Amino acid sequence: MSSIEPTSGPPKGIGPMQRREARLAYGMLAPTFLIIASIVLIPLLANFWISFKPVQLADLRPPTPVANERVRGDATAVGDQIRIEYRLRNSSRERGIADVVMTDSWPTGLTPVDLDARCAIENQNLRCALGDLEGGYRERLRIEVTVEQAFLDSALNPRDSKPVLTGESENILTNAELTLDNFRKVFAGSEFWSVLKVTIYYTVFGTAGALVLGLFAALLMNQAFRGRAILRGLFLFPYVAPVIAVAFTWVVLLDPFSGALNAILQQTGAAGGPINFFGQREASFTLLGLEFTFPLALTTVIAFEAWRYFPLSFLFILARMQSISGDMYEAAEMDGASPLQQFWYLSLPQLAGILSVLFLLRFIWTFNKFDDIFLLTGGGAGTRTLTVDVYEQGFALANLGAGAAVAVVVFVVLFTFSIIYFRFSPKDEG
Amino acid sequence: MMAVLRNGLLLAVFSGALWGVLAMIVLGITFALVSGAPAQPSVNAAALAGLLGALVLMLREPAQRTMALRFISAATVLVVLFAASFAQPFGLALDVAPFWQILAILLIVGSVSFTNWACLHDAARGALRRYDFEKILIRVFKGFGFVFFTVIVALPFYVLVMTSLKSQQSLLANPLDFSIDFSGGLGGLFRSYGELFTQFNFGRYLLISSIVSVATVILTLLFSVPGAYAVSRLRFPGRAVLSRSILLIYMVPAIVLVIPLYAVFSQLGLRNTVAGLLIIYPATTIPVALYMLQGYFQGLPAELEEAGLMDGLSRLGVIIKITLPLSLPAMASVSLYVFMIAWNEFLFAFMFLDDPDIFTLSRGVVSLNSSEVPRQHLMAGAVIATLPVLGIFLWFERYMVQGLTAGSVKG
């Protein structure tokens, strides 16, 4: 704040004070901007780029020229001939390497009989300009040499120094080869649409479940009683504990054979046999003579989501409830409004704002969620969401390009949500 | 139609049966878990017992419900529980784990009697006014809610801790037996933990997780404090856009960044390193820290800083001498929140770390999830990963809750 400026309103032009202030501000923001640009913004763009490229996971290792050196024959006297052999190959089967040069230094006292045309030797230093090696290239480069006394005396071996190879290979990530295959592959199978359906199902019900549980918990805690602080702390455990801990606990708890829950259900007669909560795609039950089928693993995963994230909605809703003035309720009480009427006509309208903001935020974050499903089911049994599909395509199937293409879909859907959120969020709460 | 249902007796039937069922399920299963006995709680008997106990209370009008009536009600619960379950409330003869069984039965009778009284003590017998009816109904539902939430939150954590203390054989023999076995002494009880620290390198993982989390907190603050100050206090072109887009950046899902970062970090040789994590973690937490701090800085009175400037302090001096001391609570909240995010982070640790010498705890626990490692080791690893963050949370709960509410635009 420049205290010298008159407070009657911002001046039209930018004065030297402001310019200094702006420069200071940019300076203070520069480190943040740099790290966010390099770890978030540029990778985001890079992801779009990769989604148009035919990149496999293995392509991240650039092709390199490799040479193994062998020595054939025994040298016992001056004038004996031995053969030095370089077994050359390109480490990549598909991609070529340009301008490969091999250098190696030999012990003294070796004279080549006839040198390969690509090679030259100078001061015991061999230099071979091998040119371009195409993918899968293999060659045995043989050089016959005669030995002199110096070599026999030195007891050195040509293999003592390793050949050094240099070459240029195209970086698969930066070359201009572009393709739409990744997107074609992603959208082609019927799989994609089922993944999208599962994602929507998971996001909608996971968000709604967490919100309803959070609202219920907040209603319970919105009154003073002994032990409230302890209970509130306990209710936050699922969210604060590391995801690996709670996810594996659920896996162990719900294990069909050694899990406590299945044991309880069977012992009390609630279930006939072990239920594979995370491994069974569909389950059916009969109610009033009608048979209902529902996706079991997906439902369990949604239950986990609601369980793990209700504490968050709980905290927000409770904070909002505690800021509602009590006068209104006293007036309603005087007018004889029943508790449910008070909740319905007074509390809910007051909570509508926070509930809708929470719904959108949780919706976005549930949509983004990867860890939970990945750890619970690995995306099996009909629980593969878009985010798990990114991993599946990119790393399990080792097709980075296809994974990036799914990630593009994730981002586009998300971007739409975010725009909706910022359009509708009240200015003071966003 | 609804008016017919608004009847004290009906409410008593509903409430009594519900509490009978709940008490039997919760305490019956707790009994089975604690004693290891193969209990089969008779839920129907308990429902009937709770229901009749509630009706006994309703024999008199609210003003005449004496202590004696409460005792009669409790006795009714006890007698009906035994009668309806043929003297086997848990489907077991009474001489199986007698101490625990009698304790569980007494607890069931006590809790059903208590909740019946708490819910129904002022319920009139006949038709109820809508107000009173809803009041009592909400009481019942709230009671149910407390039991429900406590159980769903506590049960997994209880199972987590208890499984980590078991041996492989006893786990397979009876999955419900969570009694603590002291026969092997403390060493036997905590054997899994000992093995994790001696054979699985968990001491090192603990150290690396601590270093990574603390370093992330420090780096995040170093970046976000000046940034937040600039956004909240200084005027510059683009400020409005910036302060609104911070959160947008935070919405970018990690999974979208994983592939390009994996590709680039592989080629730069940063992938399988702690330094790589220390670049990524702060970058993902800076936006939310900046957002939280900026909100706090805006709430501080600008006059203090102006006075400091007038007295000849530089901007940096103002920040260090005035702004930071005033915002210590916010800094604490931000630090705890960032610590929690870094400590619990899974995705990047899982994708980037291959070398067991530099695993974080999250990554280390995932490596225990294989068929060759016994389950109790996995659970013990999970406990080791959970305890520090839960301990810090409980210790600094006030700040942590502030951090969560301010920052949990994140999932």
Q: What is the ipTM of this complex?
A: 0.90
Residue type, A393: Q
In the structure encoding, which two tokens stand for residue B255, read together? 């999974």
Verdict on whether the full-model pTM lies above 0.90: no
Output the pLDDT for position A217: 94
Average pLDDT over residues B287-300: 87
pLDDT higher at B179 or B233: B233
**Residues B321-340, mean pLDDT to the nearest whole number:** 89
Cα-Cα-Cα-Cα torsion A23, A25, A31, A36, nearest 10 degrees, comes to -120
pLDDT mean over B224-231: 91
- Chain-chain contact of A249 with B253 (C-beta, under 8 angstroms): no
Mean predicted confidence (pLDDT) in B51-65: 87
Average pLDDT, integer, range A280-284: 83
For residue A128, give Cα distances in angstroms to A98, A104, A115, A134: 14, 9, 10, 17
pLDDT of residue A429: 43
- Give yes or no for A17 touching B (CB within 8 A): no
What pLDDT is recorded for position A426? 56
Structure tokens of A186?
A: 């992603």
* E strand map for A249-301: 282-287, 290-295
Tell me whether residues B340 and A240 touch, CB distance under 8 A.
yes
Q: Mean of the pLDDT values across residues B143-170?
A: 89
What residues of chain B lie within 8 A of the CB of A240, using their CB? 340, 389-390, 393, 400
Residue B278 has pLDDT above 80, yes or no: yes
Query: What one-character-per-residue DSSP string does B296-362 give?
Result: HHHHS-HHHHHHHHHTT--HHHHIIIIIHHHTHHHHHHHHHHHHHHHHH--HHHHHH---GGG--HH
Q: Which chain B residues are within 8 Å of A59, Cβ to Cβ?
A: none
pLDDT at A1: 43
Q: Give the pLDDT confidence score for residue A377 in this predicted structure.
A: 92
Averaged pLDDT, B302-331: 86
Does residue A349 register a pLDDT over 60? yes
How confident is the model over B366-377, as a mean pLDDT? 87
**Contact assignment for B159 to A260 by CB distance below 8 Å:** yes
Minimum CA–CA partner of A270 in chain B? B40
A140-166: average pLDDT? 82
pLDDT tens-digit series, residues A374-430: 999 988 888 999 999 999 988 998 888 899 999 999 999 888 877 877 776 655 443
Q: What does the pLDDT look like over A16-26, one tens digit per residue?
A: 878 888 888 89
Distance from CA of B230 to the nearest CA of A (A): 5
pLDDT digits (tens, 9 = 90+) for A23-75: 888 998 999 999 988 898 899 999 998 898 888 887 777 778 888 888 888 87
CA angle B174, A377, A275 (to 5 degrees): 40
Which of A248, A264, A411 has the CB atom closest to B378's CB atom?
A: A248
Contact A379, A22 (CB under 8 A): no
- Kindly state whether A258 is in contact with chain B, defined as any CB-CB distance less than 8 angstroms: yes
pLDDT tens for each residue of A357-379: 888 888 888 998 999 999 999 88
pLDDT (0 to 100) of residue B224: 92
Angle between helices B274-299 and B239-250 (to 10 degrees): 130
Can you read off the two tokens belonging to residue A382? 């009909």
In a mutagenesis test of the B interface, which of A4, A28, A371, A391 is the best target, namely the one with the most B β-carbons within 10 Å? A28
Q: Mind listing the pLDDT tens digit for each residue in B84-106?
A: 888 888 888 888 888 889 999 99
Helices and strands counted in chain B (H then E)? 21, 0
* Of the candidates B253, B405, B234, the residue with the CA atom closest to the CA atom of residue B334: B405
A48 to each of A364, B175, B249, how far by Cα in Å?
Answer: 20, 49, 16
Cβ-contact A84, A69 below 8 angstroms: yes
A163 touches chain B (CB under 8 A): no
